[in-house]
Amino acid sequence: MRIEGLDPATGDLLRVTCEGPVITRVDRSPGAGADLPYLTPGLVDLQVNGYGGTDVNGPDVSSEGIVRITRSLARVGVTTWVPTVVTASEEQIVRSLRAVAAARREDAATAGAVPFVHVEGPFLSDQDGPRGVHDRAQIRPVDAAEVARWAEAGPLGYVTVSPHWEDSPAQIARIVASGVAVAIGHTHASVEQIRAAVDAGASLSTHLGNGIFATLPRHPNPIWTQLADDRLTCGLIADGHHLPAETLEVMIRAKGRGRAFLVSDSVELAGSRPGTYRTAVGGEVELSPDGRLSYVGTDLLAGAAVDLGHCVRFVLAHTSLSLPQVLEMATVTPGRVVAELGGARRGTVQVGRRADLLRLTAAGEVLDVVQGGTPVR
């Protein structure tokens, strides 16, 4: 098949030829085809807890559910996604990992779309605020041996930890040495503890600016420390609720090109109508008409109810960032992270790469989707 559109960075006409799931040819014509939509790589979301009524977590997680999420996300332009398993018992975490592994075996599209799993917890802060809505009863110290057992159950890419625990640097070093990356998040760790974690091999920040105390010292604090350290590449939730637009823009500027990527942090209620719901993980939540998802009776956010395409459109509409800049944070940078964590390179339109492609408008509205060489929208 062949698909054509404009390069968002240059305006050149791109004609991309695909054979099976792979890009076999890319032709570029400067100054041609000005009335066509933009042609970009498929979106890459490194933090998806659930979507479209299906959860990656909980006792009912299944390979069929993981496949459903793959198909639902593809229709909105997310062609690569990382299932995020939250704080739970070891048994439940293993159950989710096995479900993802089974889905990858059973469904070719899922095998291509899901490079690995992210486990967010259970080695997080036990304090209100940075703990967020993670189950306090299941919070426990960083344990490289437990991570190794998870990795035997399914494709584990990275784990989020709070490095305040005693022996955190040694445990982090062991995890990284085993081939699993470490992200810092949901933490009340001191500046010194964060620096020690990075020295030990932590390379990512999970949804920086969230999963932290609502009130912090002006300086120093964990946000400044992570923004300043170029060894950390950070995820940012761009749903319009987790971070105000001006905060998001300043954080992106501080990290610099190639060291920040957008995530949705979507949960199973993403795409649902406003209302009150009871979830398998966390209990009763309220989805407001403006898309804010919070726990009933609190100001605590319960994940996001949007997809990564919504995040792209929000950043375009509410910051000064250009379409090429925003798309880089939703394709190229997370695609590079996937490769660094052991998956196949994503987020580029190049010969030999997987044929995950979008055509979209200047405002980020998705018009057409090709996943692994197959049109899905």
Where are the chain's structural domains?
42-345
Q: How many Å apart are CA 367 and CA 307, to the nearest integer?
A: 15
The mean pLDDT of the chain is 95
**219: pLDDT strictly greater than 90:** yes
Share of the chain above pLDDT 90, in %: 88
Position 248 scores a pLDDT of 97
**144: pLDDT strictly greater than 90:** yes
Closest CA to 245 of 234, 233, 236, 258: 236
Give the CATH number of domain 42-345; options: 3.40.50.1000, 3.40.50.720, 2.60.40.10, 3.20.20.140: 3.20.20.140
Position 83 scores a pLDDT of 98
**211: pLDDT strictly greater than 90:** yes
- Mean of pLDDT values over 10-17: 95
The dihedral through the CA atoms of 325, 326, 327, 333 has a sign that is positive
Position 280 scores a pLDDT of 64
Q: What is the per-residue pLDDT across 64-81, written as a single tens digit (0 to 9) for each? A: 999 999 999 999 999 999
Position 298 scores a pLDDT of 75
- Mean of pLDDT values over 204-216: 95
Write the CB contacts of 188 (distance below 8 Å, at least 6 apart in sequence).
Answer: 125, 127, 129, 130, 162, 164, 212, 213, 222
Q: What is the per-residue pLDDT across 307-359, written as a single tens digit (0 to 9) for each? A: 999 999 999 999 999 999 999 999 999 999 999 999 999 999 999 999 999 99
Position 283 scores a pLDDT of 73
Q: What is the per-residue pLDDT across 224-282, written as a single tens digit (0 to 9) for each? A: 999 999 999 999 999 999 999 999 999 999 999 999 999 999 999 887 888 888 876 56
Asked if 266 contacts 49 with a C-beta cutoff of 8 angstroms, the reply is yes
Beta-strand (E) ranges in 216-302? Answer: 233-237, 260-263, 275-279, 283-287, 293-295
Position 282 scores a pLDDT of 61
